[in-house]
Amino acid sequence: MQRPLKTSRRDVLAWGAALASGLVACNRGEEHANAPVTPDRLTELSAIDAIRAMRQGEVSAEDYAAALLQRCEAGKHLNAFITLDRDRVLKAAREADRRRASGAQPGPLHGLPIPVKDSVNTRDYPTTGGTPALRNFRAAEDAKLIRILVDAGAIVMGKTNIHELSFGWTSNNLAFGAVHNPYDVSRIPGGSSGGTAAAVAAGMAPLGIAEDTQGSIRVPAALCGICGFRPTTRRYPNDGVMPITPLFDQVGPLARTVSDLMLFDAVITGEVAASEAVSLQGVRLGVAREYYFDSLDFEVERVINETLRKLTDAGAVLVEADVPGLDTLIQLTTAQVQLYDVVPRFNEYLDTYDAGITFEQLLAQASIDIQDTFKRYALPGAEFAIQEQDYIAARDVHLPKLRQALRDYFHQNGVAAMVFPATMAAATPIGMDVEVEINGNMVSLETVMARNISPGSTAGIPGLVLPAGLTTNGLPVGIELEGPEGSDRSVLALGRAIEQVIGRLPPPDIFGQR
């Protein structure tokens, strides 16, 4: 059962104390606790270690923000940000230092600059949705999630580039420019939250805000070699976030460590983060090969199989079991809901937040690829528009069946979570937006990026992506862990144990790829 959100000053102080004695202590062991915090190390720190250093006065919030901003400048060629105001970030950091010097108790996110996907409302920055018509749109107030983060001491670090209107998996934005993958700038970072993922992977910030309707947290996490968490739907507040459908939409975090994701979860929910280590010995993990492992790129398959071997060596038990009828249920549900809901829901958003424009007017200024997609699939009267009866069947018949099928899977097989490759292939070349080659065959990009992540977000269950390894070409491969509805904290704890077994990826060389 989820607890109500708690945002009082008392709760912020309680979170800070709990985190300082719990996750921080745990993470310091992972991050070499005795290493001094030197200027050249600042961008390498996890969020937990950076906050600890600022709370204890080892480094000022201003110096930390300046180091991250310098990294942003060095990685400018990645095009991770749409809006980044250096002076505003430094001013907020100086204010954090002033409050701490005055004797105020620092919050659990004290002085932490957090990049925000440009589909999440922020009062101090425009919220463009990556589309030209909203270039100057500025919401009157922060989204609820942003308010919680700021109340906990975080600093909004600009707005990150996205796939236009969050309607795609590449972040090849024709209006604001393509986002580039830090591991290979000729390739996509994934979408739609590609800018946040690129920023976190490149060391511009340790923790960032994304949003996931059908993979927009987990695909970029997988392709950029970082961690991404899509919680149980509605675990975190979605108010003030540009919508596709309320049935699937969910804001969430991207980070370089699972511990930082746990910190984020604790701050947003008000639940004290667990700090105890979890053992993989005897943990049962479901492997549904029929759906999730079919026709994988050879390199992805190699990396994932090696990861599964590491998990079994650590004591995990792999349970080979498939989900009956999964492919059919997804085909009857996912697209039908999104394509039917997106236009009316977006019009509601534009009206609620006084954008001064209708969706039809917005679309008239959108990039040609986005216009074509909506004109073919989502606008009233479109050639492939979803009919009302098909939407109702998807919502009221097939979606409940999907949720029940997954509940049965976890229960009947006695598995704590399901484990599988997040995407069928690693990052694909920028510009290949329709089909890509896998093992000599041409496969639709939608299938490659969305097949494996669709069941979890459609059903609303928690999904955690971890970096599993690199291809021979040096591209990240992500592995996903999904658990039953409401098992968010267990999934995160299990993810941290898996992270300790499989290790982390070497960071990308952003200086050698300009």
Give the residue numbers marked as catalytic: 117, 192, 216
- Name the strand (E) or helix (H) holding 472: none
Q: How many Cα atoms sit within 13 Å of 392 on the Cβ side? A: 3
Outline where 22-101 has alpha helix (H): 23-30, 47-55, 61-74, 86-101
Q: Phi and psi (nearest 5°) for 290?
A: -55, -40
Cα–Cα nearest to 499, from 221, 259, 209: 259
Q: Are strands 227-230 and 463-470 parallel, antiparallel or unpaired?
A: antiparallel
Q: Using the 8-state DSSP alphabet, how is residue 56 labeled?
A: T
| Edge-to-edge strands, sheet with 81-83 | 81-83, 155-160, 113-117, 207-211, 251-255, 227-230, 463-470, 476-482, 417-421, 284-287, 317-320
Cα–Cα nearest to 169, from 444, 410, 391, 368: 444
Contact present, 129 and 162 (Cβ < 8 Å): yes
The encoded tokens of residue 194 equal 């590609």
Task: Give residues with Cβ within 8 angstroms of 41, minimum separation 6.
Answer: 35
Cα–Cα nearest to 327, from 420, 222, 438, 454: 454
Helix 47-55 vs helix 9-21: crossing angle, to nearest 10 = 110
Q: How far is CA 441 from the centre of its chain?
A: 29
Q: What angle do CA 238, 239, 241 make, to 5 degrees?
A: 70
Looking up tokens 């300046």, which residue turns up?
Answer: 66
The encoded tokens of residue 25 equal 């202590």
Contact present, 216 and 197 (Cβ < 8 Å): no
Number of H helices, E strands in the chain: 20, 15
